[in-house]
Amino acid sequence: MTPFLEVSGVSKRFGGVQAVSDVSFTLRRGAIKAVIGPNGAGKTTLFNMVSGFSTPDRGAITFAGRPIHGLQPHEVAARGISRTFQNIRLFARMTALENVMVGRHLRSRAGFLAGLLDLSWSRREAAAVRAAALEVMAFLGIEGLADAEATSLAYGQQRAVELARALAAGPELVLLDEPAAGLNMRETRDLARLITRVRDQGATVLLVEHDMSLVMEICDEVLVLASGEKIAEADPGTVQRDPQVIKVYLGEEEAC
């Protein structure tokens, strides 16, 4: 069986920096996998390549059996891949609900003409989009924020809205770039439960994370990067005992 997501031999160079070099890994459907590594290890670059935000110099990425490297972000999204951003990227001057409604963009189709003429089917569609967005917000427990301006919310709430927006698309694969960054311990525990529930509802999750407790608690597999190269790929327990990983990553933390 072909893997759900297969990244094979991808490399990316920015000027004189080899951000990612010859990284391969696979992700099976229904798994939660984390990409960890010290700062500058190439995690976000790898994420950007999977989500179409940058094109690998070499290598291939296939999703559900079809190549996706070199596609535009909106084309990758159309294949069923949704993402969040390390630096929250909510739509300014729009309410939290409207932000989440944009997440339903690919699940609706009213165009210019339908919009101009306010056709009855497009009104029905808009109502359905709204209901679906509210449902996702309720799932995350943030339906109370619906009418607040998204960028005026507290940091943790903004993270939740961004997650809701990504989930509203009904993605098969969710990419979460440091979802726990800036969250306190209780919020991080809630997030862990939430990600598990997202997976239980049928999505596959790939996340970049610094918070080791979160990674160890919820992930089935961990991919460790250092200086753009893969140094380990295994279940959390094995990775934790891997001498090379301890040396480049965990070891540094223990030394602190």
Interface segment toward other proteins; rule CB under 8 A; list 20-28, 67-75, 193-201, 232-240:
67-75
Kindly report the backbone phi and psi dihedral angles of residue 231, in degrees, each rounded to the nearest multiple of 5, phi listed first: -115, -15
Find the binder of other proteins among 23, 96, 169, 173 (CB under 8 A).
Answer: 169
Find the binder of other proteins among 38, 64, 73, 250 (CB under 8 A).
Answer: 73
Spatial contact of 15 and 66, defined as CB atoms under 8 Å apart: no
Q: Is residue 112 within the footprint of other proteins (CB under 8 A)?
A: yes
Find the binder of other proteins among 74, 124, 193, 241 (CB under 8 A).
Answer: 74
Find the binder of other proteins among 82, 158, 188, 204 (CB under 8 A).
Answer: 82
Which residues is 233 bridged to in the sheet? Answer: 223
Q: Is residue 116 within the footprint of other proteins (CB under 8 A)?
A: yes
CB of 172 to other proteins, least distance (A): 13
Residue in this structure with the two tokens 């449902």, named with its chain if needed: 135
Which positions lie near other proteins, rule CB under 8 A?
A: 51-53, 72-74, 77-78, 82-83, 85, 89-94, 98-99, 101-103, 105-106, 108-112, 114-118, 122-123, 125-126, 129, 165-166, 169
